Amino acid sequence: MTWNYRVFEEKHEQPEPWSSFDIREVYYNEDGEIWAYSDTVSPFGESSEELKEDISMYLEAFKKPALTKDCFAKARASGDKNG
């Protein structure tokens, strides 16, 4: 199993429709399909260099499209049990 950080868009309806964004860990199965994701995560390191490396991995997340919970609901509805 592999993982990376991804940007997530959370859609809200009240009081008016709006979105918020965060970064989450996303895990992929052997076929490269998204298998699971975490709650919001924060940069971390046991040294300043490790923290810098973790932040650079966060920046990589912006090179891919943002994900939403709807992406996973659609995958499950189509029969993908790993979505």
In a domain, 14, yes or no: yes
In a domain, 46, yes or no: yes
Is residue 83 included in any domain, yes or no?
Answer: no
Ranges 12-16, 20-24, 25-29, 75-79, most confident: 20-24
pLDDT digits (tens, 9 = 90+) for 57-70: 999 999 999 999 87
Put the strands of the sheet holding 2-12 in their side by side order.
2-12, 18-28, 34-40
| 3 state SS of 41 | coil
H/E run at residue 39: strand 34-40
What average pLDDT does the segment 27-34 reach? 88
Range of the domain at 16: 2-77
* pLDDT-based confidence at residue 81 (cuts at 50, 70, 90): very low
Share of the chain above pLDDT 70, in %: 86
Asked if residue 44 is part of any domain, the answer here is yes
Question: Residue 82 falls within a domain, yes or no?
Answer: no
Domain total for the chain? 1
- Per-residue pLDDT band for 83 (boundaries 50, 70, 90) equals very low
